Structure 1
């Protein structure tokens, strides 16, 4: 079995501001998003948000790959920052201490590929041993791409329902390390590929590919009603 040490063959060659130069020649612009609170949007809000995405992304250069990544991690709440002096404060402190919750982080990546086709074998394996010389200097083409991405992100932010900010270099490094480490904290571990699953440390992973519009059924809409919380007086919408 051919093994590659990630620490010796990092997928990232260089980072300039929020621009990542990957070892396969791709250039990636990285952003982190602040999304609306769940169930806070109406049906019209979802339609407007869908329209903002459509208008923002349609102006990007041909061949641009847009990758939206939503990371949900099960966490335990630490109530250390809560006051703990009065009777009521102590009760509140103990009530929330150690309670489980889902932490959600949203990331948005715009990828300028070195080659036009994504089915080239070099894009399949992020650990592929590629010479650093494949990464080119920041030229006019990349600057033009960065300007187009900046315009698209500004359009999304102007919708006032979402806010995407550029990731810093250290944040990109931390996200990369956490991702390939299976979001295990406190230690480094290996990726174990099984026939039916992927194990990284104590965490188990699976994958679902939506590779055709037929996967969506007969109709697709920007939102749907949450029947569990909806009543005669209030209607709660959620993403489709």
Structure 2
């Protein structure tokens, strides 16, 4: 299945690298940087599902960067968890007042942070779809690794299952082959773009057995779209 992405913005190398490792081990896709300037560049490339943000950063502080994000209509919906050595009540209130979704004081338990990340993602509706996705008469159950149309179970490979999971959670949007590679295979894996075409053809062939080959549409010059509307 496609992994939810977390951006860690933390200037202490050891903490940042430890958090990225823990997040990867917990099933997330983690990216990391040490300051807000680089974080802005990362956001322009790809929008994360959540940001873990240190309060005190070189240059623009974490709290100031968070305030700017929450005022920007393009980024304001990204959940933010603040990390800080500050423990005073007024600082916690200040962080939450600017729109942060949660707050953790250093030192903290990595396991607790992962639990808080999952809790925030549930509240914002990003995790609820991972267990079971329903679209029309199609149901994808990631826990049982089962994909059904009506009362019939489809025989799909793990890769085609992940493709369907991504498509069913992102219907009616066009994605390039590169974007699909990043989302379904992950950035750490080197695979040629034509591999996407191979799996799309296989998926269409399977869907065709149920009269649904039109669900995966080619958008010439751009990529692919999954839509119930042909």
Q: What TM-score do you get using the length of structure 1 for normalisation?
A: 0.20
Higher RCO (CA < 8 A, seq sep 6+) = 1
Which is strand-richer, 1 or 2?
1
Structure showing greater radius of gyration is: 1
TM-score normalised over the length of structure 2: 0.20
